[in-house]
Structure 1
Amino acid sequence: MNLPRAMVRTLITTVGAAALAALAFTGGSAHGNGDTAVTTAAGEGPGYAVEDFGYPNADKILAEQHITLKRGDGHILLADCSTGTDLMEIWSRANSKICFRVTGNSGYLTLEIPSVFAVKGNAYSSEVDMAVGTEEKTFTVNKNSWTPVGESADPQGREFVLMEIRATK
């Protein structure tokens, strides 16, 4: 059986890649017991950082303030409500008042704050995504004024969870 050269090259490349993957999976040991030593070459730089967009100190904030901050682009930050102006204020029956500072031209933050009923906007155009059970709703937040959201805007008065904030200049 004569195979074309291109097909032979592809077959050899595939088998070689599979062998390398097997070695990598087993820790470089041909027997799979992982007892080979791993060494670093002198002069190698530090490894690469991979950004997962997780909110810094989220575990500490959850423990201290009972606010679940998940992911964002770093442009919507939890802020002390007494330290500034142009803050977005979130009002919740579970947490009272929570403030966020928006920086840059736009930002987003995924989070969980239960029982949110009002949002005071800042100078940014903003939207908040909220959920009650499996139902999700998006509310447009009025600039520099109050917007009823969640149970305040729901004819049934159900308690909504704030899930995401998005803001643009």
Structure 2
Amino acid sequence: MKSRTRFAAQPQRKRFLARTLGTAAVGTLAWSALAVGVPGGSHAEAGTATTVADSAPGYVVENFDYPQADEILAEKNILLKRGDGHIMLADCATGTGQLEVQARDKSKVCFDVKGNSGWLTLELPSVYLIRGNDYTTQADMTVGTEQQSYDITKNAWTSVGESSDEQAREWTLLELRTSK
């Protein structure tokens, strides 16, 4: 009986295998026609075949440009250039541990700081005070061709730029760097 059952099952396996291979062959032909193009289709008119990889999007490369910098410049007149995303412009809120920057032409400008370290390049003119938070912070500023780096006191106001300059020149804040 065993041999009879075995021989009876073999034709079923052959039919299953034939159907599976036939379906796979039809699918492969259909895919090939779509990928290469069919006669009379748009690819045939152009005379070239394109592959799926030619139309695929490229790699994403982080350029560290500040998101929505153009909108912020138009609305708040603050030029935010580049950063690592750990120092972000924020609405000022008391008791939140923000970095606070005082500029003569603006009300207070605040930044949220996240992570173990961060950096942000910007151009904010006429800065004279920066209030630190729990992070160790450095601020790079410039006036004319002169550049100065300031260590910001944690959780206290630090005089920077024109308030610490003997000539009271208008200094521009160029970069903030933080670390825990």
TM-score tier, shorter chain, comes to 0.7 to 0.9
**Corresponding residue of 1:55:** 66
Q: Which of 75, 80, 97 is residue 86 of structure 2 equivalent to?
A: 75
- Alignment of 1:165 with 2:176, yes or no, is yes
Between structure 1 and structure 2, the one with the greater Rg is: 2
Cα offsets for 1:68-108 (capped at 9, x unmatched) = 00001110000110276100000001222100011000000
Show structure 1 runs of 4+ deviating over 6 A: 35-38
**Corresponding residue of 2:150:** 139
Q: Which of 125, 132, 141 is residue 121 of structure 1 equivalent to?
A: 132
**Corresponding residue of 1:154:** 165
**Corresponding residue of 1:112:** 123
The residue identity in structure 1 corresponding to 2:103 is: S
How far did 1:165 drift? 0.1
Residues 119 and 149 in structure 1, CA contact (< 8 A), matched pair in contact too: yes
TM-score of the superposed pair, with normalisation by structure 1: 0.74
Change beyond 3 A, Cα 1:37–1:141: farther
Change beyond 3 A, Cα 1:37–1:137: farther
Whichever structure has more helix as a proportion of its residues is: 2
| CA RMSD between the two structures | 2.2
TM-score of the superposed pair, with normalisation by structure 2: 0.70
Q: List gaps (5 residues or longer) in structure 1.
A: 1-34
Which moves more between the two structures, 38-47 or 49-58? 38-47
**Corresponding residue of 2:75:** 64
Name the SS of the counterpart of 1:74 in structure 2: coil
CA distance in 1, matches of 2:75, 2:47: 45
CA distance in 2, matches of 1:109, 1:47: 27
The residue identity in structure 1 corresponding to 2:78 is: I
Change beyond 3 A, Cα 1:48–1:132: same
Name the SS of the counterpart of 2:108 in structure 1: strand
Q: Which of 107, 121, 126 is residue 96 of structure 1 equivalent to?
A: 107
Name the SS of the counterpart of 1:151 in structure 2: helix
- What percent of counterpart residues are identical? 56
The residue identity in structure 1 corresponding to 2:91 is: D
Name the SS of the counterpart of 1:61 in structure 2: helix
Cα offsets for 1:94-153 (capped at 9, x unmatched) = 222100011000000000000000000000000000000010000000000000000011
Change beyond 3 A, Cα 1:42–1:101: closer
CA distance in 2, matches of 1:36, 1:65: 53
